[in-house]
Amino acid sequence: MTTASLLISIIVFATSGTAEETIQQYSYAEQLFKSGDYQAARREYKRFLFYQPNTEFTDVADYRIAQSYYYQNEPDRAERLFHEFLAAHPNSPFRFQSQLMIGQLQFDSGAYSLARTTLFELLHINEHTEVEAAAHYLRGWCYIHTNDWNKAITELRRVDTLQIDTSQRKEARQLADMLLKETLLPHKSPQMAEWLSTIVPGSGQIYVGSVKEGILAAALSGTFIYLAVDAIRERRYVDCTGIALVGWQFYWGNRINARQLASEHNKNHEQKLIQTLKRQAKAVSP
pLDDT (0 to 100) of residue 139? 95
pTM score:
0.67
Residue 219 lies in a domain: yes
Report the candidate in 263, 110, 262, 269 with the shortest Cα–Cα distance to residue 183: 269
User: Could you say which DSSP state residue 54 is in?
Assistant: T
Are 155 and 143 contacting, i.e. CB atoms less than 8 angstroms apart? yes
Most confident option among 52-66, 74-88, 198-212: 74-88
Least confident of 44-58, 142-156, 179-193, 252-266: 179-193
Q: Is the pLDDT of residue 20 over 90?
A: no
Average pLDDT over residues 177-188: 71
Q: What is the CATH number of the domain that holds 135?
A: 1.25.40.10
Are 155 and 137 contacting, i.e. CB atoms less than 8 angstroms apart? yes
- 15 and 95 belong to one structural domain: yes
Name which residue leads in pLDDT, 130 or 4.
130
Residue 178 lies in a domain: no
Report the candidate in 100, 96, 28, 20 with the shortest Cα–Cα distance to residue 59: 96
Task: Residue 277: give the domain boundaries.
Answer: 190-283
- 138 and 24 belong to one structural domain: yes
Residue 269 lies in a domain: yes
Are 284 and 167 contacting, i.e. CB atoms less than 8 angstroms apart? yes
Most confident option among 20-34, 96-110, 167-181: 96-110
Average pLDDT over residues 176-197: 75
- 14 and 75 belong to one structural domain: yes
Domain count, the chain: 2
